[in-house]
Structures are given as C-alpha cells and as structure tokens.
Amino acid sequence: MKDIPFAGPWITDVEIKYVTEAATYGHYENCMKYILQFEKEAKEYFGVKYAIGTHCATHALHLACAAIGLKEGDEVITTDHSWIATAYTVTYTGAKCVFVDIDPKTLCIDPSAIKNAITDKTKAIMLVHNFGIPADMDEIMEIAKTHNLKVIEDAAPAMGAKYKSKLCGSIGDVGCISFHGAKIAISGEGGLFLTNDDEIYKNAILLSDMGRTDSVAPFWSDVLGYEYRIGNLPAAMATIQMRRINELVDNKRKIYSWYEKRFNGVDKVIMVKEKPGTIANYTYPSIWIDRAKSNSSAINIIKSLKEKGIHCRPGFPPMNFFPVYDVNVLNKVAYDFFSNGIVLPAPHNITESEVDYVVENLLELI
Ligand SMILES: Cc1ncc(COP(=O)(O)O)c(C=O)c1O
C-alpha cells in the first residue's frame, strides 16, 4: 500500500488553466485583476458586503483583531484547542487571550465556558469552527449581543461549512478563511477576511496595505500597516477552488461517511460529528479513543500507523500551556482530546479501500 498522506487537494485542469492565465497575463494593467475577481466572487459566495484576499488566514485573523481595535488591557475569550494562529493573532495586538474549554461533541468552544469567563475587560470572542465543524453560533452570537462583544470566526478550516443556512465565516463581525495547502480548498497559501461592517472594513483594508493613504504624497502612509494582500496567482487558484466548493465539501463528506460506516458499533471509538442543523465540511475527520478500553494511547497509535505509511495527527496541545502564555489552566476536554484524540487522513484523493486499510490497522492497534 502506498503512503496515505494526512491531507491533500483536488486540483483539476480548470485551476491549472486559470493559474496559467494569471501567470501569463496577470501583470501590467492586469496586476490586480485576479485578486479583485477573487474578492468579488468571495463577497457573492459568502453573501457579505466586504471581502479582502490575504496571503493566509493568519494575516486575515490579525487584521480582524487589529480592525476591531483590540489593544493592551483588553481580553478575548478563545478556545484552548486550535492551531496557534488563533491565539497569537490576538496576542500580536497586546490583548490578552482567555482560554476556555471545548464541547466534546464538536471540539468547538463551549458557550457556557464563554459565559463564565466574561469580565469587564472582555472585548471579543474568537471562536474556531474546529476541523470544519460549525461552532454553536446562535448561543455565541446571543452572548456577544448581551455583553456587547465582537465576534471573530476563525473559519480557517471551514470553507463551505454551514451553520443553519449561513456559511461559516459570514455570521460574526469578521470571518477568516484559509486556503493553505492542507485545507479543503487550497491556493498553496491564501486567506480571506470577510465582514459586513463598514468601519471594520475601512480599518482592515488600510492596515492590509501598509497603512498607505497617499494623503500627503504618493506612497504616504498614515498608520502602521502590514503587507497582507494576496497575490494574483494564489487568488486565481483560490477562485476556482471556491467555485468548486460544493463538490469539494461533498467529497470530504463522502470520505467522512466511509470512516463513519466502519467505526459504527466500535465502542472504543467515537467520531467527532456535526450537530443537527449544521453541515460540517469535514476537512479533518477526527475520533476520540476510549482510553479505558484501548490497548494503546493515541500518540502510540499515531506512531505505529506512521510506520505503515498512514499519516494521522494528534489533537492540538492546549495553547494555554505554551511558553508565550504559561497560564497552566486545565481545560479538561481540550486536554483530553490532546491525549486521546486522533485526526484521520482525509486527502481528497483517498480511496474507500485506503480508508479500509487505515481503519483495519487502527482497530488492530486499539
Ligand atoms: C484553526 C486555524 N486557524 C488559523 C489557521 C491559519 O491559516 P493559514 O495557514 O492560512 O495562515 C489554521 C491553519 O492551519 C487553522 O487551522
């Protein structure tokens, strides 16, 4: 059996043709053409007023934190289980991350934990649609409304996922999407900043272009900004992947259903699953291992599978333990998933017999 990678995209001739076109013609008077087209289609697809294409989701998240005005002395309530970009982009602004626990069913931030963490310094909630599974947006938006907080949706892995009828990334004050090579839709590196808010957009677009205003002279900059806009080539790639998002989501959901069928009735394994009323994109299908019944720990299972060419990942280490924070709070569910969670391989080109191979080997080890 060949190696089964953890993730990988589905690229067709349509992407190759359009990127080739951008590489050939996307210069001179066309130097913004593919970027503007990407942003236009993103606005239409997400049904939002503004979209900014960024080099990556990390930049979009930082723009979000800066554009809502976070600063030293502010607190932002966020999940303890994510890729560290979620937290570091808050910390870049000087604001403090308050890490709270997650819901074991979805691995997304637990709304009741948000409520308990609110202080008079809380300015925002930074949630993650973890592994492409929608967070509890109604509850979160209600808490935000009651306490006058901004909501940033880290929808980096959640392109195409839906909460009720709304796309993840289009619900909060700002939504951020990633087109990193391991995501459901890719452009190598790429991101989107989405908002309906005029003021937030005005701040973000200025910051994304080095604070350049040309107000006094050409190239004049009025605020400390960043070079965060996407380029023509990744924008072209992301545009086609966005146009194909429904089939990309269908494909990931098909892979998830293969795993689900095989784990059905296995009492040592629980699949992490969308809640009713939501549609996950299942970018990263994941499972809980019942440690009391399993012969091996998640980390040892992952190691043994790797020896067979099967590339899984563990849950994220709780971020509050990282040296940058060193808070050492025990958010039990986040810690448990770090210890007993496995994220399964789901590259777009995985076959059903490869899923068989993954599951057979995994079940043997537990
Ligand atoms: C939850 C989450 N947030 C942010 C990011 C950062 O995305 P990017 O690599 O596009 O900067 C990722 C990417 O892995 C992610 O999974």
- What tens digit of pLDDT does each residue of 115-142 get? 999 999 999 999 999 999 999 999 999 9
Distance 28 CA to ligand 1 centre (A): 32
Q: Decide: 78 in ligand 1 pocket, CB within 6 A.
A: no
**Measured CA angle at 342 (ends 159, 172), to 5 deg:** 30
Mean pLDDT rounded to a whole number for the chain: 97
**Which residue has a Cα nearest atom 9 of ligand 1?**
180
- The DSSP output letter for 52 is E
Distance 283 CA to ligand 1 centre (A): 12
Strand ranges in the chain using DSSP code E only, listed in sequence order:
50-54, 75-79, 96-100, 122-128, 150-154, 162-163, 166-167, 174-178, 191-195, 269-271, 278-279, 286-289, 313-314, 341-343
Q: Decide: 58 in ligand 1 pocket, CB within 6 A.
A: yes
- pLDDT tens by residue, 199-227: 999 999 999 999 999 999 999 999 999 99
Distance 113 CA to ligand 1 centre (A): 23
Mean pLDDT of the region 165-191: 98
Determine which helix (DSSP H) or strand (DSSP E) holds 249, and give its type and residue range.
Answer: helix 245-263
Residue 1 has pLDDT above 80, yes or no: no
How would you list the strands of the sheet with 269-271, edge to edge?
A: 269-271, 286-289, 341-343, 313-314
pLDDT band for 269, please (50, 70, 90 cuts).
Answer: very high
Rounded Cα–Cα distance for residues 158 and 280 (Å): 8
Distance 29 CA to ligand 1 centre (A): 32
Q: Decide: 83 in ligand 1 pocket, CB within 6 A.
A: yes
Classify 343 as helix, strand or coil.
Answer: strand
Q: With beta carbons less than 8 A apart as the criterion, state whether 281 and 252 touch.
A: yes
Q: Which atom of ligand 1 is nearest to the CA of 60?
A: 11
Rounded Cα–Cα distance for residues 282 and 272 (Å): 10
Q: Decide: 157 in ligand 1 pocket, CB within 6 A.
A: yes
* Ligand 1 binding pocket mutation candidate from 178, 281, 316 (most atoms within 8 A of CB): 178
- Here the tokens at position 11 are 């690229």
Q: Decide: 154 in ligand 1 pocket, CB within 6 A.
A: yes
Give Cα 220 to chain centroid, integer Å. Answer: 34
Which residues make Cβ contacts (< 8 Å) with residue 284, sequence separation at least 6?
7, 131, 132, 157, 313, 343, 344, 346
Instruction: Count CB-CB contacts under 10 A for residue 119.
Output: 9
Residue 113 has pLDDT above 90, yes or no: yes
Q: Decide: 57 in ligand 1 pocket, CB within 6 A.
A: yes
State which amino acid sits at residue 231. Answer: G
pLDDT band for 291, please (50, 70, 90 cuts).
Answer: confident
Using left for φ > 0, alpha for ψ between -120 and 50, and beta otherwise, residue 232 falls in alpha
Look-up: residue for tokens 């009735």? 265
Structural domains in the chain, sorted by start? 13-243 (3.40.640.10), 245-365 (3.90.1150.10)
Residue 2 has pLDDT above 90, yes or no: no
Distance 183 CA to ligand 1 centre (A): 9
Q: Decide: 82 in ligand 1 pocket, CB within 6 A.
A: yes
Residue 320 buriedness (CB in 10 A; 0-12 / 13-18 / 19+): buried
Residue 28 has pLDDT above 90, yes or no: yes
- The better pLDDT of the pair 246, 295 is held by 246
* Ligand 1 binding pocket mutation candidate from 6, 55, 58, 282 (most atoms within 8 A of CB): 58
Return contacts of 166-170, CB within 8 angstroms, 24+ apart.
166/137, 167/45, 167/46, 167/47, 168/129, 168/134, 169/46, 169/129, 169/194, 170/46, 170/47, 170/48, 170/194
- pLDDT tens by residue, 299-347: 999 999 999 999 999 999 999 999 999 999 999 999 999 999 999 999 9
Note the pLDDT of residue 272: 98
pLDDT band for 46, please (50, 70, 90 cuts).
Answer: very high
Rounded Cα–Cα distance for residues 167 and 245 (Å): 12
Note the pLDDT of residue 295: 86
Note the pLDDT of residue 292: 87
What is the number of residues in the chain?
A: 366
